[in-house]
């Protein structure tokens, strides 16, 4: 099971972090080979495009992606021994000294499936020709990987769909009518004429688009870079309902390009007129506060994953949650950070660590006193070192320190994490929301076909139950997102 989850992680990293490439786990097979020619495959009707096969044999490569079906399919060979008989050592889950991370290895081979080649000039990335051992940081795609996925594999042109939920039950699947296909998208909240509605933002080939309502609304161009990678997260910081925002991780890296210190900064586009006009900018995280909601020094917010925004209706403050990206250091890479409120359009307050590192985009949802332990908020994540890919939840509330350090909201009564369901795993971002008395979580599973599943719990912590498994007909190529305007919060 850990190997299967790691293989799904290797595929989902492209779905989540690139705008090209698309991988879906369709099950296991007893086959060890695929016909070499297209004709051979037409005769034998293979229903898959890649298989991963372990070879108990010696090779000077740990792994090799071999074109099959005349180039339409790939067999990925993973060898057990080096030439001379020494074992290749593979790990899943936590980084292990001297061991190669299996998820990173499969992500690399799936890059070859997209016909991406090794970089020639020492670029530090997942597609580098020799894979570093003792780290799991190569699970996250670097600039070279994203750039090549765009140039070689192209643009993942898919159609967005949604379902409304009302008092716990889900409506029919509906298509979002856009003038163009998208590579990924996200849902958020939009305020208009005294009420809230659900909006969405998408990455498209012409720089992204925003729609104020899910059904039948006209698109507004976002003017993002053509190849944006993670996100997008449309969000209303409800302290200021006049301003719509779309957050995304910037395609072009911070730091020295192609080096290990390369990073991805979170940026935004914001608008007070439904994106008729708009202002782009970069998002900073405060590193130290000088007085209440006043920042003394800040740095760029970095993440390899989509960021999440919730609403703390006890404090009436937005809550921003993200996984920190640090490609040079396993110790802080993936650290889940929580920041409550906002200081300016460009800066959020100093954050707290949730005390966990997540391999996926976390989900956040709040409702005053309704989370376990009389807490207000839940955050769902997948522990980076968990080779089972289990979804876990922590709960907390935010306490304001107005006249004493740390001069901001601080997490209190942090409880967890608890496992949502020992039978449910994910390698994609988590959507969380609160509606009509229950907390909800939606994920793209690692079950055969990777269909979406929705769970709910009265306190967001105990007794999670599977509300709905939408089946293969509601398959999503990317992580689901969710937004709730229940009771105006
Ligand atoms: Zn390779």
- Distance (Å, whole) CA 247 – CA 471: 30
| 335 alpha carbon – ligand 1 mean position (Å) | 29
**What is the C-alpha end-to-end distance of the chain, expressed in Å?**
40
Its pTM stands at 0.96
Query: pLDDT 10s digit of each residue in the chain, 489 long?
Result: 678 999 999 999 999 999 999 999 999 999 999 999 999 999 988 888 999 999 999 999 999 999 999 999 999 999 999 999 999 999 999 999 999 999 999 999 999 999 999 999 999 999 999 888 999 988 999 999 999 999 988 788 999 999 999 888 889 999 998 988 999 999 999 998 888 999 999 999 888 999 998 877 889 999 988 777 888 999 999 999 999 999 999 989 999 999 988 999 999 999 999 999 999 999 999 999 999 999 999 999 999 999 999 999 999 999 999 999 998 888 899 999 999 999 999 999 999 999 999 999 999 999 999 999 999 999 999 999 999 999 999 999 999 999 999 999 999 999 999 999 999 999 999 999 999 999 999 999 999 999 999 999 999 999 999 988 777 677 899 999 999 876 544
Nearest to 481 by CA among 271, 265, 167, 248: 248
Strand order in the sheet with 233-235: 233-235, 244-249, 266-271, 279-282
Q: Report the top-level CATH class of 2-153.
A: alpha beta
| 100 alpha carbon – ligand 1 mean position (Å) | 14
| 46 alpha carbon – ligand 1 mean position (Å) | 24
161-488 is classed CATH 2.120.10: yes
- Distance (Å, whole) CA 428 – CA 477: 10
| 481 alpha carbon – ligand 1 mean position (Å) | 33
| 65 alpha carbon – ligand 1 mean position (Å) | 7
Please name the residues in contact with 292: beta carbons below 8 A apart, sequence gap of 6 or more: 401, 402, 403, 407, 408
- What does the domain layout of the chain look like in residue ranges? 2-153, 161-488
| 43 alpha carbon – ligand 1 mean position (Å) | 30
């Amino acid at each position: 099971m850990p190997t299967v989850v790691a293989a799904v992680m290797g595929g989902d990293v492209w779905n989540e972090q690139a705008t090209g490439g698309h991988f879906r786990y369709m099950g296991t097979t007893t086959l060890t080979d695929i016909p070499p020619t297209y004709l051979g495959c037409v005769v034998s009707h293979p229903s898959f495009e890649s298989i991963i096969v372990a070879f108990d044999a010696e090779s000077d490569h740990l792994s090799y992606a071999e074109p099959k079906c005349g180039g339409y399919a790939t067999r990925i060979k993973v060898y057990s021994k080096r030439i001379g008989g020494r074992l290749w050592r593979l790990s899943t889950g936590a980084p292990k000294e001297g061991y190669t991370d299996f998820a990173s290895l499969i992500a690399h081979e799936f890059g070859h499936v997209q016909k991406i080649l090794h970089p020639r000039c020492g670029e530090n990335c997942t597609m580098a020709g020799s894979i570093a051992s003792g780290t799991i940081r190569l699970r996250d795609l670097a600039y070279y990987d994203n750039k090549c996925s765009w140039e070689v594999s192209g643009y993942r042109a898919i159609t967005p769909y949604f379902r409304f939920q009302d008092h716990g039950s889900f409506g029919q699947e509906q298509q979002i009518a856009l003038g163009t296909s998208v590579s990924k998208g996200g849902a958020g909240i939009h305020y208009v004429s005294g009420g809230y509605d659900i909006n969405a933002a998408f990455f498209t080939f012409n720089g992204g688009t925003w729609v104020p309502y899910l059904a039948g609304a006209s698109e507004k161009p976002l003017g993002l870079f053509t190849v944006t990678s993670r996100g997008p997260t449309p969000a209303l910081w409800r302290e200021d309902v006049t301003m719509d925002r779309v957050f995304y991780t910037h395609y072009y890296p911070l730091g020295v390009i192609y080096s290990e210190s390369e990073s991805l900064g979170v940026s935004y586009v914001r608008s007070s007129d439904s994106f008729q006009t708009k202002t782009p900018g970069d998002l900073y995280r405060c590193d130290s506060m000088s007085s209440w909601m006043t920042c003394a020094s800040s740095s760029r917010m970095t993440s390899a994953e989509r960021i999440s925004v919730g609403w703390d209706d006890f404090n009436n403050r937005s809550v921003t949650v993200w996984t920190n990206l640090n490609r040079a250091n396993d110790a802080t890479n993936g650290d889940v950070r929580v920041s409550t409120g906002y200081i300016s359009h460009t800066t959020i307050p100093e954050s707290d660590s949730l005390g966990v590192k997540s391999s996926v985009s976390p989900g956040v949802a709040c409702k005053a006193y309704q989370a376990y332990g009389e807490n207000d908020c839940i955050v769902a994540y997948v522990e980076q070192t968990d080779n089972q890919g289990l979804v876990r939840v922590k709960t907390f509330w935010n306490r304001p320190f107005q006249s004493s350090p740390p001069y901001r909201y601080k997490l209190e009564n942090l409880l967890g994490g608890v496992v949502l369901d020992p039978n449910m795993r994910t390698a994609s971002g988590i959507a969380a929301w609160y509606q009509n008395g229950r907390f909800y979580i939606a994920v793209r599973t690692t079950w055969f076909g990777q269909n979406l599943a929705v769970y709910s719990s009265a306190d967001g912590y105990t007794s999670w139950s599977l509300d709905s498994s939408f089946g293969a007909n509601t398959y999503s190529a990317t992580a689901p997102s969710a937004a709730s305007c229940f009771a105006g919060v």
